[in-house]
Amino acid sequence: MGNAIVTPKGPQDLQSSKESDLSQMLTFSLEELRAHTGLDGREVSISLLGDVYDVSADRAVYGQGGALACYAGQDISRAVAKKSLELHDIENLEVDDLDREERQVLEEWLARSREEKKYPVIGRLVIQQDLTLKQLLKYNGEEDPRCAIYIGLCGTIYDVTANGKEYYGSGGSYEQFAGRDASRALACMSFDPEFLDDPDLSKINSEQQAVLSVWCKKFQQKYAIVGRLLDE
């Protein structure tokens, strides 16, 4: 799409959750994921690089008393990369510092989970965090190891990965907004780079504020909240 200045579609043009299969995907907070350990007959789930898998088919491995029971209900990206069962690795969400060999191990786990085990992906893990505009840039679906796509809107950061990748991911109608504060751009219904580089809402008029309010309601209904935008 480049930097062409065109008018984006309005929020009414976005598919509703009933119209898009992708919109049916669940989002999990860390607390919600940790409830999926197989106890009380619930499914057993794990997260790898943001995708949440139902591993109940291997309950004997991941369920209570299993060899990998410590992985149940956890994001295990770092732990499997380091071939670790230690709690400090299981609870550490950092994956940016993995070396080449560790990344390869993690990729093998991912491939095995998807292709060999065929564990169903049941949702996305949403990691709560507050970010500056500069930090937000990383979450454009390509630079973050978890391929997360965040959008800033009116001071709030939304994770649109699960239910908006078709719009905000690479090749999507709104891909320029990935990893950016899109408040002014959406208010002005414009892809002008100036509005992304300078999202100051004091520069919009009452009509544009009304448009922005509609977008905010749409985001609140459709996407999971990551956190708040911080001042630099």
- When pLDDT is averaged across residues 176-201 and rounded to a whole number, the result is 96
Mean pLDDT calculated for residue range 142-165: 96
* One-letter identity of residue 186: L
pLDDT, one tens digit per residue, over 171-185 is 999 999 999 999 999
Give CA separation, 185 vs 53, 102, 121, in Å.
35, 40, 33
The helix (run of H) or strand (run of E) holding residue 227 is strand 224-230
Range list of β-strands (E), 36-88:
45-48, 51-54
pLDDT over 80 at 37, yes or no: yes
CATH of 30-125, one of 3.10.120.10, 3.20.20.300, 3.30.460.80, 3.90.650.10: 3.10.120.10
Q: What is the pLDDT of residue 8?
A: 55
**Token pair for 103:** 């990344």
Task: Supply the pLDDT for residue 11.
Answer: 52
pLDDT band at 216, cuts 50/70/90? Answer: very high
Query: Alpha-carbon distance 35 to 31, whole Å?
Result: 7
Per-residue model confidence as pLDDT tens digits over 52-86: 999 999 999 999 999 999 999 999 999 999 999 99
pLDDT at residue 128 is higher than 90: yes
Q: What is the pTM of this model?
A: 0.88
Q: Where are the domains of the chain?
A: 11-24+128-230, 30-125
Looking only at the bridges linking them, the beta strands covering 156-159 and 150-153 are antiparallel
What's the pLDDT score for residue 21? 44
The CATH number assigned to the domain with range 11-24+128-230 reads 3.10.120.10
* pLDDT value at 96 more than 70: yes
Q: What is the pLDDT of residue 41?
A: 83
| Coil vs helix vs strand at 104 | helix
- In three-state secondary structure terms, 181 is strand
Averaged confidence pLDDT in the chain: 91
Q: What is the pLDDT of residue 7?
A: 47
Phi-psi region of 178 (alpha: psi -120 to 50; beta: other; left: phi over 0): beta
Q: How confident is the model at residue 13 (pLDDT cuts 50, 70, 90)?
A: low
Q: Is there a common fold for 11-24+128-230 and 30-125?
A: yes
According to the model, what pLDDT value does residue 232 have? 80
